[in-house]
Amino acid sequence: MTPNGTDDTDLDDVIVEDDGAAAAPPADPLAEVVADLEQRLAQAQEKLADTEGRLRKVSKAFMDQKAEMSAFRERTASLESSKLARREFEVVQVFFDPVQNLQRSIETGLTDPDAFLAGISMIHQQFAEGLRKLGLDAVPGVGATFDPNLHEALAVAPVGDAASDGKVLVVHEDGFMVNGRAVQPAKVVVGRYTPGAEEPSA
């Protein structure tokens, strides 16, 4: 200590600790924002590429399905056209012989009435057989359950037997159908159960 109370230590001898490293410059906020944006952009681009890839797959699948449906429709239309042409041929084939025979019968009938009538009978059978081949069936008659889609009720008759209720009792005119659809409904009399009633006669 000096007389004036000061420390006699030479200030120059004071050791200043220095780790030899310069102080780090303050962080740049703008650079951090840019780096964050670049990272987000990279992630967004990756997601976009993935989405585009999936979209291409979905689009390809859709186009493949569309092409398949179009081909299916073409095949179906071609098949229907072939079926229609085949059906038309079958119809013409069924009626070709009867029409030819009718022409012959007409020519023969001018000189031979008996041969004409025999020819007409044969032609009728040919037409009936041809229609059966095309699916024509007789509508169920006596004993069948009345069906308004196939029968036309001309009258209702009382019957004493409960089992005859709603049944066809009499057929006044035969009916015909194709695939269950009436071409000509049968004209019939239908029974209605009435206790004590007598069975109607044909």
Domain boundaries, the chain: 35-134, 138-202
Domain covering 35-134, topology = Hemagglutinin Ectodomain; Chain B (3.90.20)
- pTM exceeding the 0.75 threshold for the entire prediction: no
The one-digit pLDDT tens for each residue of the chain (202 residues) are 555 555 555 545 544 455 555 555 666 778 888 888 888 899 999 999 999 888 999 988 999 898 899 999 998 898 888 888 888 888 888 888 888 888 888 877 667 788 888 888 899 999 999 999 888 999 999 999 999 999 999 999 999 889 999 999 999 999 999 988 999 999 999 999 988 766 665 5
**How are the residues of the chain apportioned to helix, strand and coil, as percentages rounded to the nearest 5?**
55, 15, 30
Q: How far apart are CA 159 and CA 194, in angstroms?
A: 6
CATH architecture assigned to 138-202: Roll (2.30)
